Structure 1
Amino acid sequence: MLLVSGLCMTNVAGAQVAVIVNPKSTTAQMTAAQVSAIFLGNTRAFPGGGVAQPVDLPESAPERDQFYLKVTGKTPSQVKAIWSRVVFSGKGSRPKELATAADVKRFVATNPNAIGYIEKSEVDASVRVVFSVDGR
């Protein structure tokens, strides 16, 4: 398992992942703790108000592993376990999983409450970066 995680991380070792929101969002910046709280189901609110609607890349995306490891400090299996408990308890539902980074960007660009993450090089004016995850 560690070997697999290591290989996945090698694919994005120099990459940066950007946490993005809709440009109309009142959230200008976020901390790792705030992003983590939304993506692990601890809160549904953006800092300063508004209901957050998180979206994930597919499990096969190396950026997803990097995002969760760097932002939450959790491995993919730990994240699955956390969400299983949250869903089972009825306290929330997993972030919607979209097929590609382009889909994530499009969803965030068209939904004022959406929050997602993509490779920083894919960011354009249709979304706003509120947090960056350094891949190094």
Structure 2
Amino acid sequence: MVLALLPLPVQANERQIVLIAHPNVADTVLTRDTTRAIFAMRQRSWPDGQAVRVFVLPSSHPVHARFAKERLTVYPHQLQLAWDRMVFSGTGQAPSQVDSQTEMLERVATTPGALGYLEREYLDERVQIITME
């Protein structure tokens, strides 16, 4: 019974959601607050001044929900409300939406300044991992 309560490291690691960026992004560590501001579209550039291009999965995607809750500590609907407010008020725009983790990897790998997220199992050498403090 006690063993059932222990985490399964291999499965947990495979399903871990990582923050990824285009290889030309100089910053490899972001604070949770900076990451949250970027994904809320309140911060539009990397700390070094380069424009950031944000990619997200659809709000209904389970990986998007996990990313928002686990990494940003916000609910997906809160992000959507922030994006909708900016779009409707004309003060900003929503992030670019991709349909799958495979498309996320491709778009981040080929878009300078791009930032996104995916499960570790989709990762390859075309992108870099951004560490969150």
SS class of match (1:107): helix
Kindly report which structure 2 residues correspond to 1:23-42, keeping only aligned pairs within 5 A, or say none.
23-42=23-42
CA separation of 1:61 and 1:131: change in aligned 2, threshold 3 A: farther
Bigger Cα displacement from structure 2, 71-80 vs 115-124: 71-80
Q: Who is 1:4 aligned against?
A: none
Q: Which has the larger radius of gyration?
A: 2
How many equivalent pairs are there?
121
Kindly report which structure 2 residues correspond to 1:13-32, keeping only aligned pairs within 5 A, or say none.
14=12, 15-32=15-32
CA distance in 2, matches of 1:50, 1:132: 19
Root-mean-square deviation over aligned CA pairs: 1.9
C-alpha displacement of 1:96: 0.8
Kindly report which structure 2 residues correspond to 1:88-127, keeping only aligned pairs within 5 A, or say none.
88-127=88-127
CA distance in 2, matches of 1:84, 1:96: 13
C-alpha displacement of 1:132: 5.8
CA separation of 1:63 and 1:131: change in aligned 2, threshold 3 A: farther
Point out 4+ residue stretches in structure 1 off by more than 4 angstroms: none
Encode CA deviations 1:78-101: one digit per residue, 9 max, x unaligned: 222111111122221111110111
C-alpha displacement of 1:70: 2.2
SS class of match (1:58): coil
